[in-house]
Structure formats: structure tokens, C-alpha cells
Amino acid sequence: MTGPGDRAWMEMAYGLAAKGRGRTSPNPLVGAVVVRGGAVAGTGYHERAGGPHAEVVALGRAGRRAKGATLYLTLEPCVHWGRTPPCADAVLAAGLGRVVISALDPNPLVDGRGVRRLERAGLRVSTGLLAERNAVLNEAPIKHITRRVPFVTLKAALTADGKIACRTGDARWISGPATRDYVHLLRGEQDAIMIGAGTLLADDPLLTVRHPLWPGKKAVRVVLDGRLRFPPGARMLAARGGGPVLVFAGRGAPRDNARALKGRGAEVVLPPEGSAAWTLDLVLAELGRRQVAALLVEGGGRLFTSFVEAGLADKAVLTIAPRLVGGAAAPGLLGGEGAASVASAWPLRRARTFALGEDIVLEGYL
């Protein structure tokens, strides 16, 4: 059972967990607070993949004060060896009086075993407090650990009439400065950023994370380019501070182009044996195998349409600028056949909006 005071301490633990955003993948974000006599004895959060886990940090800071104290932990402690020892051992060794755990770990190697380990040792354990917070905070690692594919977020800048570019192809800049700054914050939370060949050729983007809150962050830059039209002189290949460049090409792609790209540091990946071309589900499986848990898809319209029609996108972040472009030839966000009726349209669930400068940001789940 949990009491009224437990919620505030767990809220604090979740605040700590969020500080690890963009740095722990494919591990989940976890926070921990040790409380003794109504006062904080130690705090911790998982700062980076391969580093100590939240409860180990918090208990280490609490030291002897952990004896008889209560540990508030956003995620069940692990019971297996990975890059760090089992955290359940550290929890038991601390001499705690009680443990309040928000959510069970969906990792098949844990999944309730951590709680059972603590309870069998005689420790009082409560679970479930604010568990819904963990489901949102760790939506990407939860999908990756249970389905072995990344959580997919579609990001697009739109005009008020739904255009992503003018009829000439010009799209710079639809969004205002505050929104572009927000996009770089969003990029920093991702493991990889994806575009299609059309966006690469039209915009020649860097796809780097350029924000002072993300110094040194390197997201994998993914380009879907079946015919391998990727120019060896593209800015992406010369950008300093960018992450690895991964190009998904078809088996019939020109070998000379592949050699040229490899010479510039890109990795060209061919479809699995027996497949002539990549499908989106195969691409996601390959990225999941490479430990990509959070994927941001930035363009263009054909790629967005493919993800939505295939039911492979999890979330959409749409920035809407107060501009009207017009023109039947100006591309919109989605193409394809589209929905036959409003009732059959793809809904954005749990949608929220907020303003950034003159722009409106719409976020929702598909």
C-alpha cells in the first residue's frame, strides 16, 4: 500500500529520471529517491547507457542513512547481469525498510522478477504508483525491448493550409526560429533521424543535433535510397559533429556509387538475402537490431505516407505555421489514396497543442 506522501517522492523520482533523456538508450529512463525520516537521504538517475543504474547511485549517496529508509524507484530493479551487476542485490544489501516501485520492467529478463526477489527476501514492496508516467516516459525503450523495433515519430513543418513546401519545392523556412530550436531539442532525444532520397536531393540536409543542451549528441542519420542517388558531395558526409550515416540501398544500386559513399564514411546496407529491396518493416527490424530505440522521421511526404499507410508510425509532431501557400502542385503532408471518409481517417490520439512563437505544435499518437 502507498500513502499520500509517497506520490510526491515518486514525482521527484520521475523528475530525476527525465534528466537522462537522449542519453540512456536503449536502456530506459529511471530515477530513484531514498527517504529517511521525511527527508531525502540520496537521489540518483540513470545518466547514460553502460553507467550505474538509478537505485545504485541513490543508495550510494545515502550510504548508512539508507538503513531502514524507503526507496522510491520509477522502474523495477534488474536481476540479471548486463553491463552492470543486478540492482536487486544492491537494494537488498542496503538494509532498506521499504521499497515503492512505480512500474514493472517489461524486459523479459526482469518482468516481475525484481519485485519477487525483494519480497522473497522479506522486504516490504509496493508497486503501481504513477505507473502511467513510466509508460509515456519510456515509450521508446518499452517498444524496443518488447518488439525489437524502434518507436517511430513523424516530424513535419506545415503551413496553415497543410503544405510542406511550395510548388517550386522551396520549404525554407516554414517554421519560425523558436520552432526550429524545439526541433533540435526533439532530435536530441532520438537515436536516429530518417529521411528519404527525395528530401536528401531537394534539401541537402545535415541532420545533425544543433542545440546547446545536447553537446556532443550524435544521432544516426538514416537515408532510404533504393537507387543510391546519394551524392558523394552531400553536406551530410562532410558535417562535423554528425552521427554515423546509414544508407539503405536496393540490391540493384550502382556499385560505383556505393564505393564512393563508403569512401566518404557512409555505411551502405543492402536488403537481407532473398530480398531485392528494403521494406519499411525490414528497415525498422534492422535499426532495432542496431539498438536504435527512438527514430525520428523527418521527410518527405512519400515517406510519411508510407509509414502512416503501413501502420508503422507511433507518434506525429506537426509544427503549423501561420502561412498560406496554396497551389494544387504544392505538396501536402500525406499523399496516396487517402481515407475514403472522415470516419475512416487516421486519428491522432491523446493530442495536445502548444504555441512556439507564432507557430502551433500539434503532437499526437497514431
Catalytic residue positions? 55
Pairing label, strands 151-159, 192-196: unpaired
Using alpha carbons, list the distances in angstroms from residue 147 to 30, 79, 243, 249, 297.
20, 21, 25, 24, 19
Q: Do 327 and 222 touch, CB atoms closer than 8 A?
A: no
Q: Do 294 and 49 touch, CB atoms closer than 8 A?
A: no
Question: Peptide bond preceding 173: is omega within 30 degrees of 0, i.e. cis?
Answer: yes
Pairing label, strands 220-224, 192-196: parallel
Best CA proximity match to 36, nearest among 98, 87, 90, 89 = 98
Give the rounded distance of the alpha carbon of 107 from its chain centre.
17
Between CA 271 and CA 265 the distance in angstroms is 20
* Nearest 10 degrees: Cα torsion 55, 150, 208, 332: -140
Q: Do 344 and 324 touch, CB atoms closer than 8 A?
A: no
| DSSP string covering 293-328 | -EEEEEE-HHHHHHHHHHT---EEEEEEES-----T
Q: 212, exposed or middle or buried, with CB in 10 Å at 0-12, 13-18, 19+?
A: exposed
